[in-house]
């Protein structure tokens, strides 16, 4: 019975370490993930701006794609704001924790 428990623990450790051992892929920290997400939101906002400019100058006649780009930018920005709110809330909770 003890051997079966040890086997399952070793298997669990193998699975956990397998996720960390990616061949040639740099592990990114939380700051890198956050920075990449902000850059992606910024690029989506830029795409929406380009779609608006194209529609207003008459280069693009498809209002549907423009509205989709605007809503996509709006949703991504709102999601970023909510993530920021959660981060601030978590930080405040940690600061209230007594050591």
3-state helix, strand, coil in the chain (%, to 5): 80, 0, 20
pTM of the entire structure? 0.65
Cα dist from 78 to 20, 45, 60, 64, 75, whole Å: 31, 12, 26, 21, 5
24: pLDDT confidence band, cut at 50, 70 and 90?
Answer: low
Q: Give the DSSP per-residue string, 24-52.
A: TPPP--HHHHHHHHHHHHHHHHHHHHHHH
pLDDT reported for residue 95: 93
pLDDT reported for residue 64: 94
State the average pLDDT over residues 25-44: 88
Question: 48: burial class by Cβ within 10 Å (0-12, 13-18, 19+)?
Answer: buried
What are the structural domain ranges in the chain? 29-99
Query: How many CB atoms sit inside 10 A of residue 47's CB?
Result: 14
86: pLDDT confidence band, cut at 50, 70 and 90?
Answer: very high
- Residue 59 CA to residue 66 CA, distance in Å, equals 12
């Amino acid at each position: 019975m003890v051997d079966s428990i040890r086997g399952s623990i070793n298997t669990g450790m193998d699975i956990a370490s397998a996720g960390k051992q990616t061949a040639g892929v740099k592990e990114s920290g939380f700051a890198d993930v956050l920075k990449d997400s902000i850059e992606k939101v910024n690029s989506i906002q830029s795409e929406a701006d380009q779609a608006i400019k194209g529609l207003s100058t008459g280069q693009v006649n498809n209002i549907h794609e423009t509205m989709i780009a605007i809503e996509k930018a709006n949703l991504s920005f709102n999601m970023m704001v909510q993530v920021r709110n959660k981060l601030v809330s978590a930080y405040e909770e940690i600061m209230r924790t007594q050591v």
